[in-house]
Amino acid sequence: MSSSATVVADPLARIGRINPEHYSHFIEHLGECVYDGIWVGPHSPIPNTDGIRQFTIDALKAVGPAVFRWPGGCFADHYHWRDGIGDPASRPRTRNIFWGGTESNRFGTHEFIGFCRKIDAIPYICGNVGTGSPQEMMDWLEYCNGDSDLTIVDQRRANGEAAPLGIKYWGVGNENWGCGGNMRPQEYAAKYRNYVTYLARMNLGVQLIAVGHDAAWNRELLRALAGARFLPRLQALSIHRYFSLERQAFNYDESEYHDLIADAHVLEDDIAQADGILKNYEDPTNPVGLIVDEWGLWDRGRATPESGLRQANCLRDAVVAATCLNIFTARADRVTMTNIAQTINVLQCLIETRGPDAWLTPTYHVYQFYREHVGHDSLTTHVNSQPLAVQNRPGRPVSQLSASTSLSEDGSQVSFAITNRHYSESVECTLRLPEKTLGDAAARLLAGDQAMSANSASSPDAVAPTDLAVRSTNDALTIQLPPHSIAILTAGVG
């Protein structure tokens, strides 16, 4: 069966600039994300540069630029940065209390920065509030960004970095409502005030990111910061969202497929609630950025600490990822960064490795597509399509099609990202930019025979982009999308 749909974007309704930060990533010392998805060591028979797996470098450089958040996650709030500098052979071996096993500390601050440089990424460090101290985080910041005649800066220089590292993004803790200390919002507000008192006075050009959570936490946190002269220093608030934690294991039938798509729309409510609460407290001339720095599908039945939080990654997950990126793009006026969890081998990853083998997941190709939006302005986009046989949590209908649109600053190029989320039906989609002529167009398609189609070491290109035909009719462009597929279309604008 086939249906029809339209996507109409308003060229006069620019929402906000789409920056590299909008489509970013998260890595943690968890399972095989860092060891050996990223770090194999300089003496490994696996091809590498300075100990970083070469496949990972090449793949992530091709899908960048973007931000990479490190070292966690729950791991961040018991990570002590001095364990990860200096001679690797002399670094202490420590316990990973959240994810199990021994932490070698072979991948530390300098290795992380080297990794970011190799893939043209922007580093984001998450500081330790749970078991650390303001002084420890101040020292880490000074070590990384300082340029004075200080002993700790000389230590960085002695470790091979003469110039400041210039790390802009610093998280003041992680999930301090949970694994970061099980704090109440008022307790975390006191911690945040304590840390920011000192970090802000260092004047090292950073953006400090506070830990947010659900509406109740965010409301109490901002209330505690208001009137304490600290709200003006709140530059960004982070929230996390994982889908389907309550399921014991994912199924691959049509019903659950559609349920997962509906689950993703809880992000719309997360963003709307945080936006409304922030507007009640922030200075409207200096709005607070909203960062979704952990999000994605989590198959709790398979992705356990014992399995290194590995889970199957298939085309269905790519459809969910595209849905989420469309939601984020539509709120580029408030959302300033998002980081999928996690880049390699963990949860909804972009890359999987097994020993010397490595391959790309379908979600990787979604990020490849959305590079076309970066540097453009998000446009208000209206989708008219059939509803799916499912409703989201508030009981609203979920449309068959999900889309986002962006326009270059000079208005000469438009990009449409379109996802057909139906399990079994194709759709003919017509794209319009009112009062504009759409010229030369090119499109790429990510599709597969089944929603559970996936790549593997033996079939690394089972799900890979292909060219998609575009038909031009008067003032519109038309494409045909098979079930569970994602497309990116770019066109000149006249």
Number of H helices, E strands in the chain: 10, 26
Q: Which of 111, 294, 352, 372 is catalytic?
A: 294
Higher local confidence (pLDDT), 73 or 1: 73
What's the whole-number mean pLDDT along residues 468-492? 95
Q: Does 62 score more than 70 pLDDT?
A: yes
Same domain, 450 and 475: yes
Q: Does 245 score more than 80 pLDDT?
A: no
Same domain, 244 and 331: yes
Say whether 268 is catalytic. no
Residue for token digits 């400090």? 208
Point out the domain boundary residue: 324, 345, 374.
Answer: 374
Which CATH number characterizes residue 432's domain?
Answer: 2.60.40.1180
Point out the domain boundary residue: 374, 390, 423.
Answer: 374
Say whether 111 is catalytic. no
Asked if residues 140 and 80 have their Cβ atoms less than 8 Å apart, the reply is: no
Q: Can you spell out the DSSP letters for 64-104?
A: ---EEEES-SGGGGG--GGGGSS-GGGSPPEE-TTT-SEE-
Same domain, 136 and 51: yes
Point out the domain boundary residue: 374, 390, 425.
Answer: 374
What's the whole-number mean pLDDT along residues 231-257? 84
β-partners of residue 353 are: 358
Which CATH number characterizes residue 330's domain?
Answer: 3.20.20.80
Same domain, 44 and 124: yes
pLDDT level of residue 32 (50, 70, 90 thresholds): very high
Mean pLDDT (the chain, rounded): 95
pLDDT level of residue 320 (50, 70, 90 thresholds): very high
What's the whole-number mean pLDDT along residues 67-83? 97
Same domain, 217 and 301: yes
Q: Does 250 score more than 80 pLDDT?
A: no
Q: Can you spell out the DSSP letters for 427-468?
A: EEEEEE-TT--EEEEEEEEE--SSTT----SS-TTSS--EEE
Same domain, 395 and 361: no
What's the whole-number mean pLDDT along residues 49-59? 98
What's the whole-number mean pLDDT along residues 14-28? 97
Range of the domain at 341: 19-374
Q: What is the structure's pLDDT at 98?
A: 94
What's the whole-number mean pLDDT along residues 189-199? 95
What's the whole-number mean pLDDT along residues 463-472? 97
pLDDT level of residue 384 (50, 70, 90 thresholds): very high
Distance CA 477, CA 479 (A): 7
**% of the chain with per-residue pLDDT over 90:** 88
Q: Which of 28, 103, 142, 175 is catalytic?
A: 175
Q: What is the structure's pLDDT at 236?
A: 97
What's the whole-number mean pLDDT along residues 448-453? 95
What's the whole-number mean pLDDT along residues 249-269? 89
Same domain, 369 and 393: no
pTM over 0.85: yes
What's the whole-number mean pLDDT along residues 339-365? 98
The total number of structural domains in the chain stands at 2
Q: What is the structure's pLDDT at 20?
A: 96
